[in-house]
Amino acid sequence: MAPRKIIIDTDPGQDDAVAILLALASPEEIDVLGITAVAGNVPLELTAKNARIVCELAGHTHVPVYAGCDRPLNRPLVTAEHVHGKTGLDGPVLPDPEMPLADGHAVDFIIDTLRAHEPGTVTLCPLGPLTNIASAFQKAPDIVDRVQEIVLMGGAYFEVGNITPAAEFNIYVDPVAADIVFKSGIHVVVIPLDVTHDALVTKHRNDAFRALDSKVGHAVAEMTDFFERFDIEKYGSEGAPLHDPCVTAYLIRPELFSGRHINVQIETQSELTMGMTVADWWRVTDHPPNAMFIGEIDADGFFALLTERLARL
Ligand code: RIB
Ligand code: CA
């Protein structure tokens, strides 16, 4: 089967970095047409820099990296240095990128790419706030019907919020953008905290990354050593939740995941619950299903896949 053509929209972030590495290590299943950076975990200048650092770490400097939106559609930017560190990629010492940013704005790359490829053949994989995606849909409504699928990391139901009591970070940062995406009519696969909080990098799993004894293996282990502090302190978890790599793993082995096709709406009015993904998991309303909301992951299978693929880089 031909590899799936994707655009990764991202705010690296250590977990975004691992998601990008997993995609670049899997050319049989994934063809990364480009990477679009968005403001999120850290400001845009850093997410655009970090995305290039990761491409160079993987030895894939041919992948174009575009800078996108530097703030949400209608709210001030909220960042997460408390989780990811000042650089957004704290942990390993990695060289500044030599590869330049691709010319042009990320939103225009998304629009041009969707127009250039056959309808229904390009998947969008947002790993951060949905500002670039929603901006592309607003600027070029004709591309909405051309999107094959959106597979995103964001939201929560049973796990509720990680940035507020009610909301997960990616959705919280730009709830209006998320509302546009969830109302677009495109098939959206949602990988929420309910799943990613089961994808924990325990010591044993991180030792397996280190045991690869490669530049990539050591970098991923050191990113995780840094990134896990926040979740261990807040949740008492056994290690860092690898949020974004779950998106890439879903593209490669969807059978590692299970969920329900339900209605999901985004809170955009109340400051108290702003950015909450109101998931009708128990189907108590007659609102039409608009998302495949993933609820479970085979965590051992996920880490076996991730470690095997990282060994290729
Ligand atoms: O809430 C977790 C999400 O927010 C992840 O994508 C992480 O990288 C941050 O963007
Ligand atoms: Ca992210």
Give the CATH number for residue 144: 3.90.245.10
Under 8 Å between Cβ of 109 and 66: yes
Under 8 Å between Cβ of 51 and 101: no
Q: Answer yes or no: is the C-beta of 127 below 6 A from any ligand 1 atom.
A: yes
Q: Answer yes or no: is the C-beta of 170 below 6 A from any ligand 1 atom.
A: yes
pLDDT tens digits for range 216-237: 999 999 999 998 888 888 888 8
How much is the pTM? 0.98
- Expressed as residue numbers, the domain containing 245 is 4-310
* β-bridge pairing 240-241 and 277-279: unpaired
Under 8 Å between Cβ of 78 and 162: no
Atom of ligand 1 nearest to the CA of 127: 6
Provide the mean pLDDT of the chain: 97
DSSP H helical segments within 32-183, as ranges?
44-58, 81-84, 106-116, 131-139, 169-173, 175-182
How many separate domains does the chain show? 1
Distance 243 CA to ligand 1 centre (A): 6
Q: Answer yes or no: is the C-beta of 153 below 6 A from any ligand 1 atom.
A: yes
| Confidence (pLDDT) at 230 | 84
Quick one: which ligand is closest to 10's CA? 2
Q: What percent of the chain stands above pLDDT 70?
A: 100
| Mean pLDDT of the region 280-298 | 98
